[in-house]
């Protein structure tokens, strides 16, 4: 009887271990590092696709994890432009998750507006917060890529001077550089290996990375393939040009930093003051949205603020 008890105990232990191992293997297949890496690469290929059949099939897997939600999102016009914007940001969000966060921002905005005794429409302003977050992530990622482009081009130039072919130079950048530039060059190398032509793969890269420096790189390679020339020397000259451009951009940013800070403070000041006044004295500003004259004043003030924000943005926005 004791032996039977120990046998059941051992079998129960083995069953629990196998169950836990099965759970781990299931999680690792869908959420593990390798699965996450593959999904990220597929998403990148989807965002930069040129419209071929294989890319369309990949796109259909990326909009949402649930099949029903995926079919619904596929029916929305221009939904793949949103998918490309999310890919450009480098975030792990898909379209369904982004729309979910937007809906959550709407609910939070309406709750805060009700709590602060503000109009419901003022709370709906939070709907743009996910969009601003994604756009800010895109800006940061593009800035990192632009900072890495001179080093990447110099590495390709040295590789080609050493006798490597253009695809091999792309692979070296993808293996030795840091993210996010390494991932983009690795995707170009993979697309070329999958049978996509070099011009199409480079155009896909330009679509994924809307940067002036990347456009210079793509255009220079495409022109060289048509006219010929020393591609290694071209990459060296382009690297020097981008470095000088980055120096000029840094000087411009230093000179315009004070103007940008002033513009940000002047933009946020009216909304911050209105929020604080409503918390201190909830009925003080109520006349602005209950009286017809108050609504007209609010409308005129918002129009003038928008004009002022646009004017300040144009003054501090210096293109190099």
What's the pLDDT tens digit per position in 145-183?
999 999 999 999 999 998 888 889 999 998 898 888 898
Helix (H, G, I), strand (E, B) or coil at 138: helix
Instruction: Give residues with Cβ within 8 angstroms of 83, minimum separation 6.
Output: 43, 46, 47, 59, 62, 63, 94, 95
Distance CA 133, CA 151 (A): 28
> CA 277, 278, 279 angle in degrees (round to 5)?
90
Torsion of CA 181, 193, 224, 139, to 10 degrees: -20
- For the cut 60, the answer to whether the pLDDT of residue 208 exceeds it is yes
- Reported CATH class of domain 142-247: mainly alpha
Whether the Cβ atoms of residue 83 and residue 99 lie closer than 8 Å to each other: no
Whether the Cβ atoms of residue 231 and residue 224 lie closer than 8 Å to each other: yes
Tokens of 179: 């993210």
- For the cut 70, the answer to whether the pLDDT of residue 126 exceeds it is yes
Give 227-283 pLDDT, tens digit per residue: 878 888 999 999 999 999 888 888 888 888 887 888 888 888 888 888 888 888 877
Distance CA 85, CA 63 (A): 12
Whether the Cβ atoms of residue 235 and residue 154 lie closer than 8 Å to each other: yes
Work out the pLDDT band at 23, boundaries 50, 70, 90.
Answer: confident
Work out the pLDDT band at 53, boundaries 50, 70, 90.
Answer: very low
Residue among 64, 85, 65 at smallest CA distance from 73: 64
Higher-pLDDT residue of 155, 28? 155
Whether the Cβ atoms of residue 150 and residue 218 lie closer than 8 Å to each other: no
Work out the pLDDT band at 36, boundaries 50, 70, 90.
Answer: low
Work out the pLDDT band at 82, boundaries 50, 70, 90.
Answer: confident
Q: Which residue pairs from 210-214 have beta carbons closer than 8 angstroms and sit at least 24 positions apart in sequence?
A: 210/88, 210/142, 211/142, 211/145, 211/146, 211/149, 212/146, 213/145, 213/146, 213/149, 213/242, 213/245, 214/145, 214/149, 214/184
Q: What is the mean pLDDT of the chain?
A: 79
Work out the pLDDT band at 54, boundaries 50, 70, 90.
Answer: very low
* Cis peptide preceding 180, ω within 30 of 0: yes
């Amino acid at each position: 009887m004791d032996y039977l008890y120990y046998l059941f105990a051992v079998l129960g232990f083995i069953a629990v271990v196998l169950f836990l191992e099965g759970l781990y293997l299931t999680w690792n297949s869908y959420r593990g590092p390798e699965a996450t890496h593959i999904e990220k690469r597929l998403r990148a290929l989807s965002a930069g696709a040129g419209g071929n059949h294989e890319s369309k099939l990949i796109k259909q897997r990326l909009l949402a994890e649930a099949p029903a939600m995926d079919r619904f999102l596929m029916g929305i016009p221009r939904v793949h432009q949103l998918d490309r914007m999310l890919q450009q940001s480098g975030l792990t969000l898909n379209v369904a998750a982004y729309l979910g966060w937007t809906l959550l921002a709407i609910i939070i905005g309406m709750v805060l507006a009700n709590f602060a005794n503000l109009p419901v429409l003022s709370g709906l302003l939070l709907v743009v917060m996910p969009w601003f977050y994604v756009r800010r992530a895109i800006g940061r990622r593009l800035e990192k890529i632009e900072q890495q482009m001179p080093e990447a081009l110099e590495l390709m130039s040295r590789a080609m001077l050493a006798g490597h072919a253009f695809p091999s130079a792309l692979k070296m950048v993808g293996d030795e550089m840091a993210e996010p530039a390494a991932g983009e060059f690795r995707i170009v190398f993979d697309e070329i290996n999958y049978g996509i032509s070099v011009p199409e793969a480079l155009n896909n890269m330009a679509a994924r990375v809307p940067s002036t420096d990347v456009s210079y790189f793509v255009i220079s390679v495409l022109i060289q393939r048509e006219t010929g020339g020393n591609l290694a020397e071209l990459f060296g000259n382009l690297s020097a040009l981008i470095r000088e451009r980055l120096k000029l951009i840094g000087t411009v940013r230093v000179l315009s930093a004070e103007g940008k800070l002033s513009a940000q403070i002047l933009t946020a000041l009216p909304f911050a003051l209105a929020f604080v006044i409503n918390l201190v004295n909830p009925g003080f500003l109520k006349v602005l949205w209950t009286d017809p004259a108050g609504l007209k004043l609010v409308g005129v003030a918002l129009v003038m603020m928008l004009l002022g924000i646009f004017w300040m943005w144009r003054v501090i926005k210096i293109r190099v």
